[in-house]
Structure 1
Amino acid sequence: MPDDERRDDHQAEPHDGEEPTRVADDLAEVDILRSELSAASERLTALEAEHQACLDKMLRARADLENTRRRHAQEVERAREAGVDAALLPVLGVFDDLGRALQAAETGDPSSILPGVRSVRESLERSLEGIGVQRVGDVGDTFDPDRHEALAVVPAGAGREPGAIAEVFEAGFVRGERLVRPARVVVVQQD
């Protein structure tokens, strides 16, 4: 064997007492790594449990939210139906009054129903006012394009103020500040 190879072999051989120390160090390091692995495994198990608990809470919260949304939608629908019923009841009374007026016209003088029909209209107007609906657009009122729809214009003349409503084809209605339906009117021409 050449001298160079012997030297490499000699250098690779541990000195007396080094081998047991290195093995002991390696074993100590393995024990430390095992301990760290065990701690990491326990931490992972704890984190997985915490994750599952958070996931369960999220799923319960999502289900609660969906239930709340469903209940809210049902309550809104019930309130809407109750509102429609409350608005409908007074109109049903007017319906009955019109039936009585028609019955009176069929059995008696047709001209005698005029006071009854006027009474029915007044009753209907009171019913509408009871739910916050007001009629707008009377003859003589000043034309307001936000509340009235001009169907025609007539020339100014005796007793007609320019810009005033001369005739009403359909009454307009507001609820609070909201226009439900504009009054369809004829307007006196302005100069």
Structure 2
Amino acid sequence: MSKHKPHVEDLEFESEEETAPTDKIKSLRQQLLAAQTEAKEYLDGWQRARADYANLQKSAAGDKLRLGKQAKQTLLLDLINLADTFELARSDETALAAVPPAWRQGFEHIHKDLLAILNRHGLTVIDPLGETFDPKQHEPLGTAPTTNPSQDHQIVKVLKKGYALEDEIIRPAQVTVATLSN
């Protein structure tokens, strides 16, 4: 070859490109790591927000059910008072005898329909006459002495029937309980 042109193989030189790719790769890896960390934070935040929203929906649904049950219970308690009035009127046999038979039949029909409505809405009557006293279902308003040991703590009179709504006592039966006297 010629004297003026050096052969390419004989030349040694350092290229900026040889050192720059490693720095660039390090920089890109750091950027990737930062982007992955940021993406994970966003994903975690999104998942927490999603879980919070699901919990809020469950809570709102529970609140809605509780409010509905409470409103139903309030209305049924008012209707129970009406049923008590019917029971009180039915217990006055002298007054009922003075009423024409057609009125009595109408009265009984309305009472029967009222009880059917209460039953249809999940209300059950607690009429504990002759049963053993249970403080979870009965409210003692008085006692009656008895000498018979088998009647001790038995209900001898129901002053007002009790009511349960879907297995929950909403009004205990008001009763008189027999107590053994010596």
TM bucket by the smaller chain? 0.5 to 0.7
The residue aligned with 1:67 is: 53
Opposite residue 140 of structure 1, the aligned amino acid is: G
Measured at CA, do residues 115 and 164 of structure 1 come closer, stay the same or move farther in structure 2, by a change above 3 Å? farther
TM-score, length-normalised on structure 2? 0.56
Is 1:138 aligned to residue 124 of structure 2?
no
Measured at CA, do residues 145 and 71 of structure 1 come closer, stay the same or move farther in structure 2, by a change above 3 Å? closer
Which entry has the higher C-alpha Rg, 1 or 2?
A: 1
In structure 2, stretches of 5+ residues that fail to align are 1-13, 86-97
The residue aligned with 1:187 is: 177
Measured at CA, do residues 86 and 73 of structure 1 come closer, stay the same or move farther in structure 2, by a change above 3 Å? same
Opposite residue 154 of structure 1, the aligned amino acid is: A
Distance across 2 between alignment mates of 1:185 and 1:120: 26
Percentage of identical aligned residues: 22
Aligned residues: 145
The 3-state SS of whatever aligns with 2:27 is helix
Match of 1:152 among 142, 152, 175: 142
Match of 2:159 among 156, 165, 169: 169
Q: Once structures 1 and 2 are overlaid, which stretch shifts more, 37-46 or 113-122?
A: 113-122
TM-score, length-normalised on structure 1? 0.54
Measured at CA, do residues 188 and 85 of structure 1 come closer, stay the same or move farther in structure 2, by a change above 3 Å? closer
In structure 1, stretches of 5+ residues that fail to align are 1-26, 99-109
Match of 1:56 among 32, 42, 64: 42
Is 1:129 aligned to residue 119 of structure 2?
yes
Measured at CA, do residues 122 and 141 of structure 1 come closer, stay the same or move farther in structure 2, by a change above 3 Å? farther
Q: Which has the higher contact order (CA 8 A, sep 6+)?
A: 2
